[in-house]
Structure 1
Amino acid sequence: MDTNPAIPTRAKGTGAHFVNGHSPLHSSYSADTDRSDRESTFNAIKSSMGPRNEPLDVEELQLDDTTNGQRSFHGSTASPKQNPSARQYEEVADGDIEDLDQKISARDLRDQVPLTPPATTRSASPFVSQNPTIDFDGLSWPSAGTLSRLREREHPTDAEARLEKLSGAVRTILECIGEDPDREGLHGTPERYAKAMMWFTKGYEENLRDIVNGAVFHEDHDELVIVKDIEVYSLCEHHLVPFTGRMHIGYIPSRRVIGLSKLARIAEMFSRRLQVQERLTKQVALALSEVLKPQGVAVVMESSHLCMVMRGVQKPGAMTTTSCMLGAMRKRAKTREEFLSLLGRR
């Protein structure tokens, strides 16, 4: 059937004066016609909506899935596969919630407190388990040359030889960039820089066990503990230039709390090494998780990198934000949002 695009079409059961709006001024308008057409339009809309869906009663749910009886839902026959069963409301996938009997691996009998079952919102990080465990008897994530540097504390002669070797390397750098290491302004600079570099990287000589120093206490507290705005200074391992910023650490205790100053000291220990911000953030979170076995840990760091400011793209003011969420802080959206809102960075 040909249709003229200039003539508007209307749904079946709709009166002529309803096209583009009805009006009492229309030539075909009358009160009876208007009432009749309204009822016809209402019935047409109602018939297109189908039968009304009614909620099921609890008694209608069949516990036996093996029955092949068919029951009618508003005139329609449901197949056995479509038949609602109470069992589907009981079975939950293993990955959806944590085991209600899960307990914290305790070092003390008082630590055996079950976790509150969380609503999983983020999967566990596949990279956390790949990190080396913390060595309480040695160093935390040591590098190949760290142990020999640590042993030099008891051998001043070896420490002096290391410092002299580093000073020579700095002198070579000055010569390579076109400077004269023997001029007045640079006299003694290689030695000063060598001592400064050893200070900048003193975190290699520090141990997590000594940093904590037994400052872990049992306390009946299971709400957020947050220390904000911890100043952090570190060296970018890609260019050996500083990046500075602030770190925010929070955790939910499980009957164990740590001295607040220790959070800043842990951040200081890991930052006084050659670092990338992503690894620094995760190392602090994993260290705190290892020491306290809390319900959850969250670490957020914001910093400015001089390798982006002084060279390369040269963008002053650019801030880099990294985070690491473990345990309940990663799995519970509400808990994570509470932490971020308390930081004022939601």
Structure 2
Amino acid sequence: MTTAAKLAHIVAQGEPYDLGFAHGSALRKRLRDFLDDGVARLNHLLPTAVSMAGLAGDIAAHRAVITRSTPRLADEIAGLAAGAGLTLDEATLLQLRREVVGYQRIPTRGDCTVYARPGVLAQTVDLNGNLDDQIAVLDVGHGGRRALVLSFAGLLGYLGVNSCGLAVGLNLVLGGRWGPGLPPYLAIRHLLDTATSVESAIATLRSLPFASSRAIVLADATGTACVEVIGDEYRVTRARESVHTNHFLDPDFAGRDELNVFARNSSLRRFETAASGLRALPANADPDEHFSVLSRPPICVADDGDIRRERTVAAVVLDARNGALHLRPGDPRLSATQSFAL
């Protein structure tokens, strides 16, 4: 078990390389130690050990797509490497750890639970690898535009909210073949950097070559949507309110779901609990009222001491109308709310 006491808050403005350099410089020792811990803790999770040399081909293949599809993020990764004293391969690996893990560890107790209504998106972050000691909040911007981004272990993106009033969250869903492409976490950062609304985010997502399957949940001041992705196929559900866990909701994708039965049962339970909790919340619910929903079992998954198991390492409430990110690091039942605003 690790501690969530090392939350970092990094504020940076400027060109992509400068943003990455500031991020890397602020977390230089932390990122070096993380990479040296079983190759970014991958060797604590995978059945067969990996090495930087052995991963070089996969990293290069992903980097080629990142550079082609989101060149500004490729520049930011280069800045991250320089600021943290990492190789470019190491800084790139931090962006695609989940793709390296692949289907190896299908969650059986939990994974992220997301819900959204106009102006608000709330979710738990369930990860393996004991990543609650790697949390950072990035306040990054260029040309008058800014975003608040939740990050883990050098990620340029995970989830967040931007100054245009767009909030973006995500779920792991398992389907299709995973391969060289744009990691979904970087896709989310690209949305926060470029999109201005739910509709513009959907249009942008359709042009991105995803490396792995995901569900992306979007919210702005007037509505929400969920975009499910398998390979180059996208299914969009628009709604006044949205709830998503880890099973596909679109009928076209449901038959291609690779979740095992235990993971699916967990996903269904969390979906029902979140939907019920959202219905009960008043329209003007404050962050702590949202955290009360996110803190309920089975949505909140406790630590059982096994680094290989997904557990809740953070809970977040994104206020798209006011440009704020409210965070409870670690188990949200045990931590205080920390708030960040644009």
After TM superposition, the score normalised by the length of structure 1 is 0.24
**Structure ranking higher on relative contact order (CA contacts 8 Å, 6+ apart):** 2
Higher Cα radius of gyration: 1
The structure carrying a bigger strand percent of its residues is 2
After TM superposition, the score normalised by the length of structure 2 is 0.24
